[in-house]
A and B are shown apart, each in its own frame.
Chain A
Amino acid sequence: MAELSYRDAVAYGIAQEMRRDPHLVMLGEDIGAAGGVFKTTVGLLDEFGPDRIRDTPISEQAILGAAMGAAMTGIPVIAEIMFSDFLAVCWDIVANQMAKSRYMTGGQVSIPVVIRTLNGGGSRFGAQHSQSVENWCMMIPGLKVVAPSTPADVVGLMAASVRDPDPVVFFEHKSLLAGKAEVPDGELVDELGTARVVREGTDCTIAALALMVPRALEAAERLAGDGISAEVIDVRSLVPLDTQALLGSVGKTSHFYTVEENPRLCGWGAELASIVADEAFWDLDGPVIRITTPHIPLPAAEALEDMSLPSVDRIYETVRKTLA
C-alpha cells in the first residue's frame, strides 16, 4: 500500500496500462513535456516517449477525431480534454461520431477510446471552467461514463476504461486532485458499472458522485450525531449504472437522496430518481429528494461558488429536515 494523491493516481493508472499494452497511446494539449495543465500526466513522456505521449495543438476536434480514427483502426487511445467544458467544442466527435459509429455500421467498428477530462467546480474558475457535465454524456446512447472519487478508484477505473472496447468518458475532479489516500500495491483493475456503498446506514440512502462523495460522507457523519443513519453510495459509473446497488439500498432505508454537482435540470440524479420512483415506489417512505447546484451558470467569486455547489451543510440540513 502506498499513499497517492488523486492527481498522481491519474498518471499512475495510465502508466499501469501503458506498460501492459505497448500499443496504447495518449494525446492532448500540454500533456507531454509540461506534464499536464493539472500535472496529472507528469513522468509519462519520460517513460513512454513522444510517440506514445503526444502533445497536440489546441484543436479539440482534431484530438478526438484522431483518437477515434486510430481506435477504429486498431490502436487504443487515451485522449485528454483539458477542461470538460471544452467537450462542447468537440461534441460532434463525442456524441455523433464515437457514440454512434458501432450501431450505425451494424457493428463493424469498435472505438476503444478513453476521453479523460477535468471536471467540476470549487476552483473559482467561473462558468466556463467549472462545470460538471457528466449528464451531457450520460444522455447519449453509446457512451460509457465514469467519475471516480478516490485515488484507488482513479487507478482501477482507468484500467477498466482503457480495457473496455467502447468509448468511455472519464471525469477527473479538479477539486479532488490534491487529496491523498491509500492505493493497493500491484495491478489494480476495477469494473465499470459498479457502485460502492462507502458508508452503511439504515435510515436513508444518499447517492453521490465525485466531489460530492466526501461531502455526503461528512454530512452523514454529522447526521449520525443526530441519530440518523445515512447510507452513502458512491455511484462511480453512470453508464453502465449499478441500479441494483441503488434499489437494494433504498429497499433497506426507504428514503432516497441524490447529491449532484450539476445544475438542476436533467442532472444525473434525475434519472436515478426516476428509476427509484418506478421500481422502488412501494419501498419509499418519503419523496425522493435531489440536492443539486441551482439552475444557474456557476459564478466565480469564492463566496458565490460556495453558495452554489451542494455543501456539507446543505446536504446535512436537507436530510435532517426532510427525514424528521
Chain B
Amino acid sequence: MSTEVHDPGAYDYSQRPARLPVDVDHSNKDLAIPLQDRVEMYELQQVLRQFEKRAYDLFMQNLVKGTSHLSLGMEAVAAGFGLALRPDDYSFATYRGHAHTIARGAALGPVMAELLGRENGILKGKGGSMHLTSVEHGMMGSYAIIGAHLTIANGAAWAAQLRGTDQVAVAFFGDGTTNIGAFHEALNFAAIWDLPVVFVCENNLYMEYTPIDVVSAVPNPAADRGPAYGLDGIVVDGNDADAVFHVASQAVARARAGDGPSLIEAVTYRHGGHSRADPGKYRPADEVEAWLERDPIPMYHQRLLELGVPEGDLAAIQQSVAGRVEDATEFAKGGSPPGEEHLFTDVWAAGGSAWRN
C-alpha cells in the first residue's frame, strides 16, 4: 500500500520547474539556404503572425464564433515546411491549422472569412476554423479528432507511390497526439510500406492544459518513439525557421527519393493559450517569459539583418503584410452569412444531401 500523502499542489502545473527553450544556434546562419528563400520565410512568418493576431482580436470582438486555435509563437514550423514543399505535395494539419493552410498558399481573405462563418469563406462556412482545407494548394485538410490525419496522410503518400509521382505528404500534429493509437499505427504502417510521408510533431510542451511530460513515458514524445518503428528520432528547434527548413528539406528529399518516411519533433511553444481566450495559467510564469524572449520572428529578423538584408526591406515586408491582413479582414467582414441553400449541399458527390427517393 502506498504511504504517499496526496499533495494537491503537485497538480498545479504552473508551480513546476520551467522547461526552457534552447539557445539560438547561430551557426544556422551558415546553412546553405538561399537568401531569397530566407526572406520568403520571414515574410511568411510575418503573415502568419499578423493574420493570427487579427484573428484573435476578431475573436475577442465576438466576430469569430465557436473556437480557434492559434499558432502564435509556432510560426517557424509552418514557414520552414511551407518553403520546403512543392506545390503538388500534400499537407495535413490539426485544428491548429491556420498557419499550415496559409503557408501552402491559400488566400488570406477566404481563410479569414471562414473564421467569421461567412459565405465567402474557404469552406463556405461549413467547416470553420478547425477544418481549413485548400485542395488546390495541396492543403488536404485540418482534422479535429486527434490522430486520424496521420493515417490519412499515409493514404495520400500511398497514392503518390502508386502513381509513381514523387509527391510527398506531410502530417503536422501536436505532442499530445503521440499518445493516441493512431499515431503508432500510422508510423508502423508508413515504415513497412516505405511511404513518402513526413510526420511532424509540433511539440509545444502542452496538450491542452496538461504538460506533455506528465503524460508521456519518454522525454521527447515523438522522437523517442521513432526507433520503435525503425525511424530516426529527429529533434529540431521549432523556433528557428532555418533549422526547420533544413531538416524539412532533408526529410522531403528522402521521401521523394523513395527512401521512406521520417519523423521530426520540432520543439516550440505557443504564446497564448490552447484555444479561444484561454490565458494559459497552468504554465510557469518564468517559462512563458523565457519562450516569449525566444520568439521566432524577432530572432529571424535579427538573423536577416546579420545576413545583410536592409532593415528598410524588412520594414517594407511588415507593412505590406499589414495591408494584406487589413484587406483580408475587410473581405471577411464584407461577406454575408451563408444562406439556407448551402445547408443541404455537399453531402454527396452529386451535390445534394438526399438519402431517400
A-side residues, CB < 8 A to B, are 23, 25, 51, 54, 56-57, 59, 61-62, 64-75, 77, 92-93, 96-97, 101-110, 141-142, 164-166, 193, 239-244, 275
5 pairs of A and B residues whose beta carbons are closest in the complex: A69-B155, A65-B151, A165-B349, A106-B124, A62-B185
Does B356 contact A69, Cβ atoms closer than 8 Å? Answer: no
Which residue of B has the minimal Cβ distance to A98?
B152
Within 8 A of A (CB), among B43-75: none
- B353 close to A (CB within 8 Å): yes
Does B151 contact A106, Cβ atoms closer than 8 Å? Answer: no
Q: How far is the CA of A59 from the CA of B153 in the complex (A)?
A: 15
Does A243 contact B153, Cβ atoms closer than 8 Å? Answer: no
Q: How far is the CA of A298 from the CA of B351 in the complex (A)?
A: 39
- Residues of A contacting B162 with CB < 8 Å? 23, 25, 51, 70, 75
Within 8 A of A (CB), among B103-140: 121-127, 131, 133-135, 140
Pick from B155, B182, B354: contact of A73, CB below 8 A.
Answer: B155
The smallest C-beta distance from B101 to any residue of chain A, in angstroms, reads 11
Q: How far is the CA of A259 from the CA of B146 in the complex (A)?
A: 38
B-side residues, CB < 8 A to A, are 90, 92, 121-127, 131, 133-135, 140-141, 143, 145, 147-160, 162-163, 169, 181-182, 185-186, 188-189, 192-193, 345-349, 351, 353-357
Does B151 contact A64, Cβ atoms closer than 8 Å? Answer: yes
Q: How far is the CA of A59 from the CA of B150 in the complex (A)?
A: 13
With contact pairs A65-B154, A69-B159, A70-B162 given, residues A92 and B148 touching in the complex (Cβ less than 8 Å)? yes
- Residues of B contacting A244 with CB < 8 Å? 357
Q: How far is the CA of A56 from the CA of B188 in the complex (A)?
A: 10
Does B181 contact A61, Cβ atoms closer than 8 Å? Answer: yes
Q: How far is the CA of A96 from the CA of B169 in the complex (A)?
A: 21
Does A65 contact B186, Cβ atoms closer than 8 Å? Answer: yes
With contact pairs A51-B162, A96-B148 given, residues A103 and B346 touching in the complex (Cβ less than 8 Å)? yes
Does B152 contact A68, Cβ atoms closer than 8 Å? Answer: yes
Q: How far is the CA of A59 from the CA of B147 in the complex (A)?
A: 13
Pick from A62, A72, A107, A239: contact of B186, CB below 8 A.
Answer: A62
Q: How far is the CA of A101 from the CA of B355 in the complex (A)?
A: 17
Does A66 contact B160, Cβ atoms closer than 8 Å? Answer: no
Does B124 contact A61, Cβ atoms closer than 8 Å? Answer: no
Which residue of A has the minimal Cβ distance to B146?
A92
Pick from A97, A106, A164: contact of B143, CB below 8 A.
Answer: A97
Pick from B125, B182, B348, B351: contact of A61, CB below 8 A.
Answer: B182
Does A193 contact B133, Cβ atoms closer than 8 Å? Answer: no
